[in-house]
Structure 1
Amino acid sequence: MSKKAAEQPSAKMTERFDCHHCQESLFGKKYILREESPYCVPCFEDLYASTCEECGKPIGCDCKDLSYKDRHWHEACFHCSQCKSSLVDKPFAAKEDQLLCTDCYSHEYSSKCQECMKTIMPGTRKMEYKGSSWHETCFVCHRCQQPIGTKSFIPKDNQNFCVPCYEKQYALQCVQCKKPITAGGVTYREQPWHRECFVCTACKQPLSGQRFTSREELAYCLNCFCNLYAKRCAGCTHPISGLGGTKYISFEERQWHKHCFNCTKCSLSLVGRGFLTERGDILCPDCSEDI
């Protein structure tokens, strides 16, 4: 909206020059042009003047109209809603339709830095983590005191550490590779390992999350342990693991899976039955009579 005082028409003009609204003559009076139509000052203020948010009175043509987000104030009314200091040509903040100077806004609404306990001023860069806030320059590693910024960090005991400092001070060292364990480690024989370092001694496949056993303090997956150390069934020649409650039959330094302990000739199960041996074979009583 443009408000300007137009030049007075020449006294020699014979045509009328009236207010567009009240039709009163504007000769010798101040007037305002709006969309190329002239208005006397009273009519213009009644029709188009903004209402001051603070005092509720019209903002006349002879007053400075200060506006913010379609709201208007007299220059004298444009002040902080709490301390009443003028906000003219000063930075301010808005909260719930109230205008506040930066000091009042900071006191009421700004967060406090977790490190220096000072107010974090509006517009200032800050770091936030689990409901706490820091000035960007205050968010530093507790050990080396270097700003963490956007780098990865690890919290411990209400203190924050950059990853290198945390590893030096707190991380366990993997028994296998001697490097720090920051996440996902496993414990075997009260010693720490990376999950990817805890592997079968024979086949090198990861043991984390699967059953395994050990021999002479070395860890093996079940397949490798059975193939390397388990006794073999005299019937099928496959390993007898003895793990998980596996049942087997032992006789004269030979072993059989329970389901393999059968008559060599007729394949009758000999578990719980009498049997005879003939040149290394095990036979049921009936088959032994035929020999």
Structure 2
Amino acid sequence: MHPKTLIRSHARELTRLRNPKKKRQSKMGPKCAGCNESIITGEYTKAMDRDWHTQHFCCDECRDPLTGKKYVPHEDRPYCVACYEKSFANACDKCHKLIGIDSKDLSYKDRHWHEACFKCTTCDQSLVDKQFGSKNDDIYCGACYDAQFASRCDGCHEAFVTGTKKMEYKNRQWHEQCFCCCACNTPIGTRSFVPRDQKIYCATCFEDKFATKCVRCKKVILSGGVTYKNEPWHHDCFTCTHCEKSLAGERFTSRDDRPYCADCFGELFAKRCSNCRRPITGAGGTKFISFEDRHWHNDCFYCAACKTSLVGRGFITDDSDIICPDCAKKKLL
């Protein structure tokens, strides 16, 4: 290497170490959104938050320049008004003309109208910002829809106005104020009710009119109960007429249509044995002997002298006693 060349090289290195290299500022301009090339000199257009060569900011459909003109962005691409309306504008459901960008597009279930065309089919009243109903591809104001198509209350038979609350039960429907007990006419609301013969009763009225009631206390029998002579009784109400003992599940006898337990019936009404003086109730198929207005249990019908049973045998009366023929002979001797 030539000595002078070496010196110059060392000098450059020393200069570099003493003066750190500065970053070179880029002289490259913004990139065009149309051609993706840098915009270096001349005028350019800024639109849709991007930069464009003036000649590249044009309609994505017809390629006409848009700089200084009205345009419509769609899916991140610019369109002139004519191309946008031709390709993307909706047709009005009434007049069938395109709904341009200068008109308000009112839509309902994939259908579109000019604001001025959005009217009731029957009365031609504007429906903008109003309640409306749709039937068979036609639209109606609330009043016209209700008059022609609204269902009617099973109570007052008036139409249900749009937005009115309904009470429904088994394909029948009522206004909230019409859903009342047919007996007391009180609105039922969310309370319990009972249907009967196409009528609606509140629980209280239904119990008063139709629920099974005890013949004694006249209150509703909610569960269980006893039937006596085809009449319903509460278990606790079906008691012995004399001692008030419950007869539910017990043996009992009636007299004059009144129930009595076996003990009370025997004490009050049964024949009494001429021997032991206890009642002859007949409970359990008990057999007894009757003779001249006198009565005996089978087991009590025996000879007063020898105590031999006289059931099925002849006997002889001796004042209040009965004796067998053998004892009668002995008494005569």
Fold conserved (TM > 0.5)? yes
1:44 aligned residue (66, 79, 84): 84
Q: Where do 5+ consecutive residues of structure 1 fail to align?
A: 1-8, 230-239, 243-252, 256-278, 281-291
RMSD: 4.7
2:202 aligned residue (162, 166, 180): 162
- Specify the code of the residue in structure 1 equivalent to 2:143: D
- Mapping 1:104-183, distance limit 5 Å: 104-156=144-196, 158-169=198-209, 171-181=211-221
- Secondary structure of 1:107's counterpart equals helix
Q: Give TM-score, length-normalised by structure 2.
A: 0.53
2:121 aligned residue (81, 89, 92): 81
Contact 1:167 1:182 in 2 (8 A): no
- Secondary structure of 2:177's counterpart equals coil
2:232 aligned residue (172, 184, 193): 193
Between the aligned partners of 1:76 and 1:56, the Cα distance in structure 2 is 13
- Secondary structure of 1:151's counterpart equals coil
- Secondary structure of 1:105's counterpart equals helix
Aligned partner of 2:97 in structure 1 is: 57
Contact 1:195 1:206 in 2 (8 A): no
- Specify the code of the residue in structure 2 equivalent to 1:65: D
Using the TM superposition, give the Cα deviation of residue 188 of structure 1 relative to its aligned residue in structure 2, in angstroms.
3.3
Paired residues in the alignment total 238
Between the aligned partners of 1:47 and 1:173, the Cα distance in structure 2 is 79
Pick which of 178-187 and 55-64 moved more: 178-187
Using the TM superposition, give the Cα deviation of residue 124 of structure 1 relative to its aligned residue in structure 2, in angstroms.
1.6
Distance 1:27 1:182, change over 3 A: same
- Mapping 1:211-290, distance limit 5 Å: none
Distance 1:140 1:183, change over 3 A: farther
Between the aligned partners of 1:113 and 1:124, the Cα distance in structure 2 is 11
Q: Which has the higher contact order (CA 8 A, sep 6+)?
A: 1
Using the TM superposition, give the Cα deviation of residue 23 of structure 1 relative to its aligned residue in structure 2, in angstroms.
0.6
Pick which of 29-38 and 167-176 moved more: 167-176
Between the aligned partners of 1:126 and 1:57, the Cα distance in structure 2 is 40
Distance 1:17 1:128, change over 3 A: closer
Contact 1:55 1:77 in 2 (8 A): yes
Between the aligned partners of 1:108 and 1:195, the Cα distance in structure 2 is 56
Using the TM superposition, give the Cα deviation of residue 197 of structure 1 relative to its aligned residue in structure 2, in angstroms.
6.2
Percent identity (aligned): 45
> Over residues 186-215 of structure 1, what are the superposed CA-to-partner deviations in whole Å (9 max), with x where a residue is unaligned?
75314x3257669798997977xxxx9978
Structure with the higher fraction of residues in helix conformation: 2
Between the aligned partners of 1:92 and 1:158, the Cα distance in structure 2 is 34
Q: Give TM-score, length-normalised by structure 1.
A: 0.59
Between the aligned partners of 2:182 and 2:114, the Cα distance in structure 1 is 51
Between the aligned partners of 1:219 and 1:110, the Cα distance in structure 2 is 62
- Secondary structure of 2:174's counterpart equals strand
> Over residues 228-284 of structure 1, what are the superposed CA-to-partner deviations in whole Å (9 max), with x where a residue is unaligned?
x9xxxxxxxxxx999xxxxxxxxxx999xxxxxxxxxxxxxxxxxxxxxxx99xxxx
Contact 2:214 2:221 in 1 (8 A): yes
Distance 1:36 1:160, change over 3 A: closer
Contact 1:177 1:197 in 2 (8 A): no
- Secondary structure of 1:173's counterpart equals coil
